[in-house]
Amino acid sequence: MVDLAAIEAERARIREAYLHADRAASAASGVHHVALLSSDVEATVRFYQEILGFPLTEVIENRDYQGSTHFFFDLGNGNLLAFFDFPGLDVGPYAEVLGGLHHLAISVDRPTWERLRDRLDAAGVPYQAESESSLYFRDPDGARIELLADPLGEMYGTKIL
Protein backbone atom coordinates (compact mmCIF):
# COMPACT_ATOMS: atom_id res chain seq x y z
CA MET A 1 0.00 0.00 0.00
CA VAL A 2 1.23 3.51 -0.81
CA ASP A 3 1.86 5.69 2.25
CA LEU A 4 0.11 8.90 1.19
CA ALA A 5 1.08 10.74 4.37
CA ALA A 6 4.76 10.01 3.74
CA ILE A 7 4.43 11.16 0.13
CA GLU A 8 2.82 14.42 1.24
CA ALA A 9 5.51 14.91 3.89
CA GLU A 10 8.21 14.47 1.23
CA ARG A 11 6.38 16.88 -1.06
CA ALA A 12 6.26 19.44 1.77
CA ARG A 13 9.98 18.94 2.47
CA ILE A 14 10.87 19.55 -1.18
CA ARG A 15 8.56 22.58 -1.33
CA GLU A 16 10.23 24.04 1.79
CA ALA A 17 13.76 23.35 0.53
CA TYR A 18 13.44 24.47 -3.09
CA LEU A 19 10.32 26.59 -3.73
CA HIS A 20 11.29 30.21 -3.07
CA ALA A 21 9.03 33.23 -3.52
CA ASP A 22 12.10 35.33 -4.33
CA ARG A 23 13.42 32.90 -6.92
CA ALA A 24 15.93 34.04 -9.52
CA ALA A 25 14.93 34.56 -13.13
CA SER A 26 15.19 31.46 -15.26
CA ALA A 27 18.36 30.88 -17.24
CA ALA A 28 16.16 29.84 -20.20
CA SER A 29 14.40 32.14 -22.63
CA GLY A 30 11.63 29.65 -23.41
CA VAL A 31 10.92 26.36 -25.14
CA HIS A 32 12.17 26.49 -28.72
CA HIS A 33 10.32 23.32 -29.63
CA VAL A 34 9.19 20.01 -28.24
CA ALA A 35 9.83 17.12 -30.65
CA LEU A 36 7.61 14.05 -30.87
CA LEU A 37 7.64 11.09 -33.25
CA SER A 38 5.33 10.57 -36.20
CA SER A 39 4.67 7.37 -38.10
CA ASP A 40 2.87 9.22 -40.90
CA VAL A 41 3.81 12.81 -41.74
CA GLU A 42 0.61 13.62 -43.63
CA ALA A 43 -1.69 12.13 -40.96
CA THR A 44 0.13 14.15 -38.33
CA VAL A 45 -0.14 17.34 -40.40
CA ARG A 46 -3.86 16.78 -40.99
CA PHE A 47 -4.47 16.19 -37.27
CA TYR A 48 -2.50 19.12 -35.88
CA GLN A 49 -3.28 21.65 -38.62
CA GLU A 50 -6.79 20.76 -39.75
CA ILE A 51 -8.35 19.54 -36.49
CA LEU A 52 -6.40 21.47 -33.86
CA GLY A 53 -5.66 24.57 -35.94
CA PHE A 54 -1.89 24.67 -35.36
CA PRO A 55 -0.36 25.92 -38.64
CA LEU A 56 2.44 23.92 -40.22
CA THR A 57 5.45 26.25 -40.38
CA GLU A 58 8.27 24.20 -41.91
CA VAL A 59 9.11 20.79 -43.39
CA ILE A 60 12.81 19.91 -43.68
CA GLU A 61 15.03 16.86 -43.73
CA ASN A 62 16.18 15.66 -40.31
CA ARG A 63 19.95 16.17 -40.18
CA ASP A 64 20.39 13.18 -37.84
CA TYR A 65 18.72 10.44 -39.92
CA GLN A 66 18.79 10.39 -43.72
CA GLY A 67 15.31 10.33 -45.22
CA SER A 68 13.67 11.47 -41.98
CA THR A 69 11.41 14.51 -42.02
CA HIS A 70 11.50 17.20 -39.33
CA PHE A 71 8.38 19.37 -39.35
CA PHE A 72 7.01 22.11 -37.12
CA PHE A 73 3.68 23.57 -35.98
CA ASP A 74 3.02 27.02 -34.51
CA LEU A 75 1.60 26.82 -30.97
CA GLY A 76 1.52 30.59 -30.51
CA ASN A 77 3.74 32.90 -28.44
CA GLY A 78 6.85 31.76 -30.32
CA ASN A 79 6.38 28.12 -29.26
CA LEU A 80 6.76 25.27 -31.72
CA LEU A 81 5.72 21.63 -31.71
CA ALA A 82 8.00 19.52 -33.89
CA PHE A 83 7.91 15.97 -35.18
CA PHE A 84 10.31 13.48 -36.72
CA ASP A 85 9.47 10.45 -38.78
CA PHE A 86 12.00 7.62 -39.14
CA PRO A 87 11.20 5.70 -42.34
CA GLY A 88 12.64 2.20 -42.31
CA LEU A 89 13.36 2.30 -38.58
CA ASP A 90 10.92 0.33 -36.44
CA VAL A 91 10.52 2.58 -33.40
CA GLY A 92 7.50 0.61 -32.15
CA PRO A 93 4.23 1.97 -30.81
CA TYR A 94 3.94 4.93 -28.46
CA ALA A 95 4.59 4.03 -24.83
CA GLU A 96 4.53 6.04 -21.63
CA VAL A 97 7.76 5.15 -19.89
CA LEU A 98 9.78 6.63 -17.08
CA GLY A 99 11.62 9.59 -18.56
CA GLY A 100 9.25 9.70 -21.55
CA LEU A 101 6.38 11.98 -22.42
CA HIS A 102 3.35 11.72 -20.14
CA HIS A 103 1.40 14.48 -21.88
CA LEU A 104 1.86 17.80 -23.60
CA ALA A 105 -0.42 20.55 -22.21
CA ILE A 106 -1.28 23.32 -24.64
CA SER A 107 -2.93 26.52 -23.41
CA VAL A 108 -5.90 27.87 -25.36
CA ASP A 109 -8.55 30.43 -24.45
CA ARG A 110 -12.04 29.25 -23.49
CA PRO A 111 -13.74 29.96 -26.86
CA THR A 112 -10.93 28.13 -28.69
CA TRP A 113 -11.15 25.23 -26.19
CA GLU A 114 -14.87 24.89 -26.93
CA ARG A 115 -14.32 25.14 -30.70
CA LEU A 116 -11.55 22.51 -30.59
CA ARG A 117 -13.70 20.22 -28.43
CA ASP A 118 -16.35 20.44 -31.15
CA ARG A 119 -13.73 19.68 -33.84
CA LEU A 120 -12.56 16.62 -31.88
CA ASP A 121 -16.19 15.49 -31.68
CA ALA A 122 -16.71 16.06 -35.42
CA ALA A 123 -13.54 14.12 -36.24
CA GLY A 124 -14.52 11.25 -33.93
CA VAL A 125 -11.47 11.73 -31.70
CA PRO A 126 -12.23 10.39 -28.23
CA TYR A 127 -11.23 12.60 -25.32
CA GLN A 128 -11.54 12.84 -21.58
CA ALA A 129 -12.77 16.13 -20.11
CA GLU A 130 -11.44 17.03 -16.64
CA SER A 131 -12.13 19.97 -14.31
CA GLU A 132 -14.16 21.71 -17.03
CA SER A 133 -10.95 23.14 -18.45
CA SER A 134 -8.88 20.16 -19.63
CA LEU A 135 -9.37 17.88 -22.61
CA TYR A 136 -7.07 14.86 -22.84
CA PHE A 137 -6.82 12.90 -26.08
CA ARG A 138 -4.33 10.95 -28.15
CA ASP A 139 -2.72 12.14 -31.36
CA PRO A 140 -2.48 9.79 -34.39
CA ASP A 141 0.53 8.02 -32.85
CA GLY A 142 -0.82 7.80 -29.32
CA ALA A 143 0.91 10.76 -27.63
CA ARG A 144 -1.34 12.22 -24.95
CA ILE A 145 -2.23 15.86 -25.58
CA GLU A 146 -4.06 18.17 -23.20
CA LEU A 147 -5.90 21.29 -24.27
CA LEU A 148 -6.02 23.48 -21.19
CA ALA A 149 -8.40 26.45 -21.03
CA ASP A 150 -6.13 28.28 -18.60
CA PRO A 151 -3.77 31.12 -19.44
CA LEU A 152 -0.07 30.42 -19.60
CA GLY A 153 1.36 30.44 -16.09
CA GLU A 154 -1.89 29.27 -14.46
CA MET A 155 -3.22 25.84 -13.54
CA TYR A 156 -6.91 25.51 -12.72
CA GLY A 157 -7.09 29.18 -11.73
CA THR A 158 -3.94 29.16 -9.58
CA LYS A 159 -0.83 31.08 -10.62
CA ILE A 160 2.09 28.67 -10.99
CA LEU A 161 4.52 31.08 -12.59
Q: Does residue 42 surpass a pLDDT of 90?
A: yes
Task: Indicate the SS3 state at residue 156.
Answer: coil
Q: What is the pLDDT of residue 19?
A: 93
Closest CA to 45 of 84, 76, 73, 86: 73
Predicted model pTM: 0.87
Q: Has residue 6 got a pLDDT over 90?
A: yes
Q: Tens of pLDDT along 12-40?
A: 999 999 999 898 888 888 888 999 999 99
- Torsion on CA atoms 59, 60, 63, 66, rounded to nearest 10: 100
Q: What is the pLDDT of residues 74-124, one digit of tens each?
A: 999 999 999 999 998 888 888 878 878 899 999 999 999 999 999 999 999
Domains of the chain: 30-86+100-159 (3.10.180.10)
